[in-house]
Amino acid sequence: MNKGEEIGTTSWSLLNWLRLRRSTIWILSLQALVLHSSFAVWLLDIRDPLFVQGVYIASMLALAIYALFYVPLPSFFHYFVASYVLLFMLFPLASPWLRLGFFSDEAMGTYTAMTVGGIHIYVCAYELGRRRFEAMESIQLQPTRLGIAVWSILALNLAAIALVVLDAGSLAALASASRVERKLSFDRISLLIVFILNFGSVIYALLPIYLQRKKWSALPIGAALVIVEIGAFLAFRARSTMVNHMVAFAVGAVYLLPAYRQDPDAAASIGRSWRRTLALVALGLVVLSSAITLRFFRGTFEEAGLDGASRLVVTEMVRRSFANGDLGYTPNTLAVMSEVPRRRDYLYGQSYYRLLFIPIPRRIWPDKPENTQRVVAKWISPELVEQTVPPGVQGDLYINFGVWGTIGFALYGFVFAWFDRQRGLFQGLLVAAGFMPTFHLARGALTNPLVLLAAIAASAWALARYVGRSDGSPNA
């Protein structure tokens, strides 16, 4: 091959590479454009509401384009982005109408750079680490083992709830205790119950398949689920278990059930079917509204019992959700960013290196670094007993490394890309049951979500190995 032919071959290979990667280059360019706009708000101290809101709208449009056209559902990517947008990006848009004071806050520019810039660094990292669009594979199950797994895990969950009642002394004592009292009573038994409920959450993704095969079991399974969900809510005064089970069931119904049935379009388009995408979005809205309602139900239930909880007003719930709730976690993050470095020093990575010390009991090492949520609570709400305040994933990175912490979003992008590269039944179960840990990661918690994700991954792997067919034979 002469020199001219060698140059020509090299040029052709480069052209082919560019053609293969043109979507990636376009995606990265779009993300970089929005990222630079967000940092301009911070560097130039731009406080014009129209410009700043334009940055947030452009960011959400770029995220929507990538999420809808480039990443197959369901995925950890969608969980993280949806949680992040709801928690941190709607607040600036609602602020002028609800008079929330976002644009007058001293940390507004820093918040915009960290929040918008960080999520687009996350997208860039995810794009570089993800597998190209591939449809969900058809799944094969062993029906007998599926039945054994369903009833065994439901029985284990019921046993966990019974253990909660015994630990509290009685059902009446459990129902009458406040959230703070339940937190103060949290011990090793409570921790064991949390792991049992989360370890068993993967089975909810397979319930639609089992119920489709055994329709007679709907009534006893439904009764068992009601007991488990009410018991978990009373035990921890938290919505996490119920919401996670709802999401797992929805993913199982919309994606795993068609893959099990091996519908004609399942192998070719199940991950990009608009009908299934819209179905999952609709179910997501149901889950979101349920989560918001449960949050306010929990508070009014403790203050005024069932009678007070029955008088909840929808418009007030929405307003308060934006002001400081599921649709507006911004005030907590702004408060944290206002503290550092003006009144508090940076943590210099304590939030992350403390993970190495988890196995060491605090009674052996009393001065062991505290959970970041406790540190932040002492900063901004020192008067509240046992209060924890997640600072947001971007807030956590900021109080450790300053604005340079946005680079940490790349790690989240690569990790979730690895999760989403997994294949088959294992990946389906892992994604189905992984919503709440991912939500809490976005909200700013770190230790517990990582531990719970590890437990769910182990459960998904074990269940996939037990009920899945390895010989590729059709479902019975």
User: How much is the average pLDDT of 245-251?
Assistant: 90
For the chain, what is the mean pLDDT?
81
Distance separating alpha carbons of residues 321 and 328, to the nearest angstrom: 6
> Does residue 88 carry a pLDDT above 80?
yes
pLDDT of residue 312: 55
Distance separating alpha carbons of residues 323 and 99, to the nearest angstrom: 9
Cβ(468)–Cβ(142) below 8 Å? yes
Q: Which residues pair with 325 in a beta bridge?
A: 328
> Does residue 11 carry a pLDDT above 50?
no
Cβ(352)–Cβ(393) below 8 Å? no
> Does residue 289 carry a pLDDT above 80?
no
Assign 468 to helix, strand or coil.
strand
User: How much is the average pLDDT of 188-199?
Assistant: 78
pLDDT in tens, 19-77: 445 567 777 788 888 988 999 999 999 999 999 999 999 999 999 989 888 888 889 99
CB atoms within 10 A of CB 425: 26
Distance separating alpha carbons of residues 159 and 162, to the nearest angstrom: 5
| Phi/psi-derived region of residue 305, left when phi > 0, alpha when psi is between -120 and 50, beta in every other case | left
Highest-pLDDT range among 261-275, 297-311, 400-414: 400-414
Radius of gyration of the chain (CA): 24
pLDDT-derived band at 322 (thresholds 50, 70, 90) equals low
> Does residue 261 carry a pLDDT above 60?
yes
> Does residue 321 carry a pLDDT above 90?
no
pLDDT-derived band at 15 (thresholds 50, 70, 90) equals very low
pLDDT of residue 337: 95
The DSSP 8-state label assigned to residue 177 in this structure reads S
Cβ(457)–Cβ(140) below 8 Å? no
pLDDT of residue 352: 92
pLDDT in tens, 117-164: 999 999 999 988 886 655 566 788 898 999 999 999 999 999 988 888
pLDDT of residue 116: 96
